[in-house]
């Protein structure tokens, strides 16, 4: 029987730990503060932003909300970020993506001060990760590492295949597994003989954005499978990039969707907010 990795329980455990840390900071007179900026009212973004604010409340992080209209100019948004960069009482700045088309996302990400970049998307944060220096790590891949560690799955020396090379998931995921001393292979849409490569994996991390793409033919007997994907199928049911029913019987451990990687992303955002205090006091 495969171990079902419970992301809901693990994320709660992390948030409980962070709650204690937030209380300790409050006793020292530090109120950890996250500024959340949303431009426009994309319904999915509104749900994500709402969930982030709820998590802040649970952990004891103060959240400042900036709900800017769709027609906000790029200049006005950059000015808001620059103001927040300067504020001593703001530890983290998060700009909910995607942004309206008239705003250059790369420029927005680069404008956030690296020491407040709790999403870990700034080129300086990405660079720090790749050369093993301290900095913020993108929340979803950081969450996967916590899932593995807290489920007592050994990473060191293991063959790890990361399926997907996006800037927010695949690439930082591969860097993190390398930092944990796995032997890492990254696959993408031009990879030849994909099944041959994925079947080598002791740990297969799937982030390719295709519903139920990975069936048992892609996995080795006894492998650990982490499914980052999230979709709604034709029946409006949530599913991942992995065909759970096909794969579960063959593997030693697997994350479900929902309730696997998903809840970890917000928990790790909360963790980054807490880390920001240390990073800013270096
Ligand atoms: P993305 O930017 O679309 O990247 C997908 C990657 O998969 C690309 O590198 C692409 O290769 C590769 N790929 C696509 N089709 C492939 C195929 N047939 N064979 C091999 N590789 C293939 O996606 P993303 O932002 O990384 O997200 C991936 C999934 O994770 C999505 O389902 C997304 O919704 C989910 N997600 C979940 C969370 C969470 O909190 N749980 C957070 C972020 C993302 P190329 O580079 O060659 O195009």
**Residue 91 half-sphere exposure toward CB, CA atoms < 13 A:** 25
- Domain assignment present for residue 9? The answer is no
The pLDDT of residue 272: 98
Number of domains in the chain: 2
Does 96 qualify as catalytic in the annotation? yes
- Domain assignment present for residue 92? The answer is yes
Domain coverage including residue 186: 139-262
Ligand 1 pocket: which of 196, 207, 232 to mutate (most atoms <8 Å of CB)? 207
208 Cα nearest atom in ligand 1: 7
The pLDDT of residue 137: 97
Nearest residue to 257 (alpha-carbon basis) of 244, 272, 273: 244
Tell me, in angstroms, the distance from the centre of ligand 1 to residue 282's CA. Answer: 35
My answer on whether 45 and 85 are in the same domain is: yes
Please report the sign of the dihedral spanned by the C-alpha atoms of residue 148, residue 151, residue 157, residue 161: negative
Q: Which residues of 221-252 are buried (b: 16+ CB within 10 A; e: fewer)?
A: eebbbbbbbbeeeeeeeebbbbbbeebbebbe
My answer on whether 83 and 158 are in the same domain is: no
Does 245 qualify as catalytic in the annotation? no
CATH of the domain at 201: 3.40.50.720
Please state, as a whole number, how many other Cβ atoms lie within 10 Å of the Cβ of residue 41.
11
Rounded to whole angstroms, how far apart are CA atoms 160 and 182?
6
Please state the pTM of the whole predicted model.
0.97
Does 52 qualify as catalytic in the annotation? yes
Rounded to whole angstroms, how far apart are CA atoms 175 and 155?
13
- Domain assignment present for residue 229? The answer is yes
CB of 229 sitting under 6 A from ligand 1? yes
CB of 187 sitting under 6 A from ligand 1? yes
- Domain assignment present for residue 58? The answer is yes
What is the rounded (10 degree) CA torsion for 67, 280, 148, 159? 110
My answer on whether 89 and 148 are in the same domain is: no
What is the rounded (10 degree) CA torsion for 166, 254, 190, 194? 170
Q: Where are the alpha helices (DSSP H) in the chain?
A: 7-27, 43-59, 74-86, 105-111, 123-130, 139-150, 170-179, 194-198, 244-247, 262-280
CB of 208 sitting under 6 A from ligand 1? yes
My answer on whether 195 and 251 are in the same domain is: yes
**Residue 145 half-sphere exposure toward CB, CA atoms < 13 A:** 21
The pLDDT of residue 282: 75
- Domain assignment present for residue 144? The answer is yes
Which residue among the candidates 6, 15, 38, 52 is catalytic per the annotation? 52
- Domain assignment present for residue 131? The answer is no
Which residue among the candidates 119, 202, 227, 243 is catalytic per the annotation? 119
**Cis amide linkage into residue 98, ω under 30° from 0:** yes
User: What is the bridge-based pairing of β-strands 183-187 and 92-95?
Assistant: unpaired
CATH of the domain at 62: 3.40.50.10860
CB of 87 sitting under 6 A from ligand 1? no
Q: Say which residue the tokens 């309206």 belong to.
A: 100
My answer on whether 161 and 92 are in the same domain is: no
The pLDDT of residue 281: 82
**pLDDT tens sequence for the chain (282 residues):** 899 999 999 999 999 999 999 999 999 999 999 999 999 999 999 999 999 999 999 999 999 999 999 999 999 999 999 999 999 999 999 999 999 999 999 999 999 999 999 999 999 999 999 999 999 999 999 999 999 999 999 999 999 999 999 999 999 999 999 999 999 999 999 999 999 999 999 999 999 999 999 999 999 999 999 999 999 999 999 999 999 999 999 999 999 999 999 999 999 999 999 999 999 887
My answer on whether 154 and 43 are in the same domain is: no
My answer on whether 251 and 143 are in the same domain is: yes
């Amino acid at each position: 029987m495969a171990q079902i990795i419970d992301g809901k329980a693990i994320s709660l455990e992390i948030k409980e730990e962070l709650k204690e840390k937030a209380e300790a900071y409050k006793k020292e007179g530090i109120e950890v503060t996250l500024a959340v900026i949303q431009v426009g009212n994309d319904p999915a973004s509104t749900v994500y932003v709402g969930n982030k604010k709820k998590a802040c409340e649970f952990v004891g992080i103060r959240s400042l909300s900036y709900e800017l209209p769709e027609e906000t100019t790029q200049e006005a948004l950059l000015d808001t970020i620059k103001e927040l960069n300067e504020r001593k009482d703001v530890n983290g700045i998060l700009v909910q993506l995607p942004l309206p088309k008239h705003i250059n996302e790369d420029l927005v990400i680069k404008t956030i001060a690296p020491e407040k970049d709790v999403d870990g998307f700034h080129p300086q944060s990405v660079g720090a990760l790749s050369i093993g220096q301290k900095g913020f790590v993108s929340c979803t891949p950081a969450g996967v590492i916590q899932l593995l560690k807290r489920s007592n799955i050994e990473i060191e020396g293991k063959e790890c295949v990361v399926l997907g090379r996006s800037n927010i998931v695949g690439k930082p995921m591969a860097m993190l597994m390398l930092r944990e001393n796995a032997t890492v292979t990254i696959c993408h849409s031009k990879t030849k003989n994909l099944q041959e490569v994925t079947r080598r994996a002791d740990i297969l991390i799937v982030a390719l954005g295709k519903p139920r793409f990975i069936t048992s033919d892609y996995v080795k007997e006894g492998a650990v499978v982490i499914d980052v994907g999230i979709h709604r199928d034709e029946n409006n049911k949530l599913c991942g990039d992995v065909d759970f029913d096909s794969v579960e019987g063959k593997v030693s451990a697997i994350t479900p969707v929902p309730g696997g990687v998903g809840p970890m992303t917000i928990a790790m955002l909360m963790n980054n907010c807490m880390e920001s205090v240390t990073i800013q006091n270096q």
